[in-house]
Structure 1
Amino acid sequence: MAMAVALSSSTATPTTKLWPPSTSQPPRFLLPIIPSNPSSNTNLLTSSPSHKWRLRISFFPAFLNKGKGNNVTALKQELLQAIEPLDRGAEATPEDQEMVDQISRKLEAVNPTKEPLKSDLLNGKWELIYTTSRSILQTERPKFLRSKLNYQGINVDSLRAQNMESWPFFNQVTADLKPLNSRKVAVQFDTFKILGLIPVKAPGRARGELEITYLDEELRISRGDKGNLFILKMIDPSYRVPV
Structure 2
Amino acid sequence: MASMLRSPLPLSHHASTSVSSFPTAPHILGNLPALHRRSCDFKNQVVCQSSSGEVTFIQPPKSKDDLDASLKIKLLSAVSGLNRGLAASEDDLRKADEAAKELEAAAGPVDLCAENDKLQGRWKLIYSSAFSTRTLGGSRPGPPTGRLLPITLGQVFQRIDVFSKDFDNIVELELGAPWPLPPVELTATLAHKFELIGSSGIKITFDKTTVKATGNLSQLPALDVPRIPDALRPQSNTGSGEFEVTYLDSDTRITRGDRGELRVFVIA
TM-score, normalisation: structure 2: 0.57
Q: 1:187, CA displacement in angstroms?
A: 1.1
Determine the structure 2 residue equivalent to 1:239.
none
- What code does the residue aligned with 1:174 have? A
Q: 1:88, CA displacement in angstroms?
A: 0.7
- What code does the residue aligned with 1:193 have? T
Q: Go from structure 1 to structure 2 and tell me whether the alpha carbon gap of 1:176 and 1:117 turns closer, same or farther (over 3 Å shift).
A: farther
Q: 1:200, CA displacement in angstroms?
A: 2.5
Determine the structure 1 residue equivalent to 2:151.
145
Counterpart CA distance in 2 for 1:230 and 1:126 is 11
Determine the structure 2 residue equivalent to 1:128.
125
Counterpart CA distance in 2 for 1:111 and 1:160 is 27
- What code does the residue aligned with 1:152 have? Q
Partner of 2:159, secondary structure, is strand
Q: Go from structure 1 to structure 2 and tell me whether the alpha carbon gap of 1:166 and 1:127 turns closer, same or farther (over 3 Å shift).
A: same
**Residue of structure 2 aligned with 1:177, choices 181, 194, 198:** 194
Q: 1:145, CA displacement in angstroms?
A: 2.2
Asked if 1:230 corresponds to 2:263, the answer is: yes
Q: 1:133, CA displacement in angstroms?
A: 1.8
Instruction: Write out aligned runs for 1:192-203 (5 A).
Output: 192-195=209-212, 197-203=222-228
- What code does the residue aligned with 2:211 have? I
Contact 1:190/1:201 (8 A) holds in 2: no
Partner of 2:259, secondary structure, is coil
Q: 1:122, CA displacement in angstroms?
A: 0.7
Q: Which has the higher contact order (CA 8 A, sep 6+)?
A: 1
**Residue of structure 2 aligned with 1:154, choices 149, 154, 160:** 160
Q: Go from structure 1 to structure 2 and tell me whether the alpha carbon gap of 1:117 and 1:160 turns closer, same or farther (over 3 Å shift).
A: farther
Q: Go from structure 1 to structure 2 and tell me whether the alpha carbon gap of 1:140 and 1:167 turns closer, same or farther (over 3 Å shift).
A: closer
Counterpart CA distance in 1 for 2:208 and 2:143 is 24
Q: CA offsets per residue over residues 97-129 of structure 1, 9 Å max, x none?
A: 011000001111123673125421110000000
Q: Go from structure 1 to structure 2 and tell me whether the alpha carbon gap of 1:106 and 1:206 turns closer, same or farther (over 3 Å shift).
A: same
* Gapped regions of structure 1 (runs ≥ 5): 1-66, 236-243
Structure number with larger C-alpha Rg: 2
- What code does the residue aligned with 1:225 have? D
Contact 2:144/2:151 (8 A) holds in 1: no
CA-atom RMSD in angstroms: 2.4
Counterpart CA distance in 1 for 2:105 and 2:68 is 10
Counterpart CA distance in 2 for 1:216 and 1:139 is 33
Percent identity, aligned pairs only, is 27
Counterpart CA distance in 1 for 2:261 and 2:245 is 12
- What code does the residue aligned with 1:230 have? R
TM-score, normalisation: structure 1: 0.63
Q: How many residues align?
A: 169
Q: 1:210, CA displacement in angstroms?
A: 1.1
Partner of 1:161, secondary structure, is strand
Counterpart CA distance in 2 for 1:77 and 1:215 is 14
Asked if 1:221 corresponds to 2:254, the answer is: yes
* Gapped regions of structure 2 (runs ≥ 5): 1-60, 175-185, 214-221, 231-237
Counterpart CA distance in 2 for 1:85 and 1:68 is 29
